Amino acid sequence: MTITAESQTTPIRTVGAAVRAEMGPTITITGTMHDRFTDILTPDAIAFLTELHHRFAGRRHDRLADRMRRRFEIGNGHDPRFREDTAHIRDDADWRVAGAGPGLEDRRVEITGPTDPKMTINALNSGAKVWLADQEDATSPTWQNVIGGQLSLRDAIRGELVFTSPEGKEYRVTAEQTPTIVMRPRGWHLTEKNIDFTDRVGRTMSASASLTDFGLYFFHNAQALIDSGQGPYFYLPKIESSEEARLWNDIFSFSEEYIGIPHGTIRATVLIETLPAAFEMDEILYELRDHCAGLNAGRWDYIFSIIKNYRGRGARFVLPDRSKVTMTVPFMRAYTELLVKTCHKRGAYAIGGMSAFIPNRRDPEVTDRALEKVSADKRREANDGFDGTWVAHPDLIPAAQSEFDAVLGDRPHQLDRQRDDVEVTAEQLLDLRIGRPITAKGVRDNVSVAIRYIEAWLRGLGAVAIDDLMEDAATAEISRSQVWQWIHQDRRTEEGERITAEYVEEMITELLAQTPRTDSSRFDDAADVFREVALQPEFPAFLTAPAYARLLSENN
């Protein structure tokens, strides 16, 4: 079934697949229409998507070109710096952001997770203050997951969501107080290949995944969320500049006007998870100030961004085993302390990073040791001034909340803690010296985690429990990018082995030989994707780009 709708500038109607350029900009749904998809892909919603793409798709391409230019400059020795042309924004002490919207006043513990029905119910029953409803790194973007996730959110917001297990057991939202929903759309770099956009001159391209995820969720749920006493709230991923923040702000303003809600109703929390964005925190807040609630320290993607940008700059920029790059190493301390100071100066909430441990019910001692680490991590964040934090599993909520309760007490935040003691320089943000080795185990763990995660992703799973940790696309990115960098920077393990493509290939062969298979397993495909993104001379900016083509071939 193919559904096409035109821009609001012409009458909305359903037509066939052949779209003529003179009809004006159009959105065409090319993916299979599964059960209830028409509840989301309505003619009016498609018309809204068409208008979003007509107005903003070109600017998205401009911002992606800026990213490529910036990576080229860093790769050629031009380190990022605090911008001179925006110094007046940083120096102006008077401006503030909009701050918390209704239902976002207390964010001390946020749970993250994908938007399938079962995980949606689990999150809403978890007892967290906020749920990051993740259409991005924790979701494999099969067509079923993309639109099915929108259905889960729509039904949950209206109190209609029910999940029936294969055994026939029904699950519902039973909590009296459910978390405030903050939805995370996919990043600017991703496309939705089940939706085509044809512009006014007849050029057809895949739709923007960001505009698709945002547009469908906002169009269907904004008013219902307002009526419930909250609002349409978003986490913005992978932002690299204030110009990208300005683009999102313009999208928000247009969307509010389009459906007739007050300017500033939308609230956004920006993930500072790229190296360039760390140098523009003030500017990002400023561009989004009418719609901004805060910033989040997206630690895993931030580490990935550093490796990606400095992968070819020599031994000084090579990080050790992933497990050794903790939040207490100097460059991560500088990044998080700058984030808290910047947020509180502007009246924005500072939200801490992910604790991804999954309780091991077979080994209570493993769980107890891990919970001690989780508590220590959250204690550090609360004492540093963060207003809230992330966890990946409901069982981590009590440990995280107790640490923030100890610091916050009855207060919903600690915006009054200005962190005037913090002064962070560009050199501190770029000081990657850790002084720890690369080990054979570290290489093997990266190969194992990346391939096992990609295999699950290709089967439609975006958040995967591996070795007692919840892995998502960000942690898989660290794993494969470290392998690529270690090979191309001619590194050796602590044991003396030179890290080469051949050395890694032996580990791949060993992993594939030892891993049990089922009829639905896709380990051979996953290994091929890993070879493409970790062992080839070229470095794909995101592993999900080459993986997406294989995903489409099996899941539609």
Q: Is 2 left (phi over 0), alpha (psi -120 to 50) or beta?
A: beta
SS3 for 268-318, per residue? EEEEECCHHHHCCHHHHHHHCCCCEEEEEECHHHHHHHHHHHHCCCCHHHC
Whether 269 contacts 293, CB under 8 Å: yes
Active-site residue, from 472, 480, 525, 550? 472
For residues 328 and 139, is the Cβ–Cβ distance under 8 A? no
DSSP of 114-157:
--SHHHHHHHHTS--SEEEEESSTTS---HHHHHHHHHHHHHHH
Q: Which of 184, 186, 267, 452 is catalytic?
A: 184
**C-alpha span between 80 and 278 (Å, rounded):** 9
Report residue 248 CA to chain centroid gap: 15
Q: What SS3 string covers 509-548?
A: HHHHHHCCCCCCCCHHHHHHHHHHHHCCCCCCCCCHHHHH
Written as six digits, the tokens of 211 are: 């505009």
CB 221 within 8 Å of CB 227: no
The residues with which 295 forms a beta bridge, in sequence order, are: 270, 350
Helical (H) or strand (E) element with 464:
strand 464-466
Annotation marks residue 472 as catalytic: yes
- Which residues are marked as active site? 184, 472
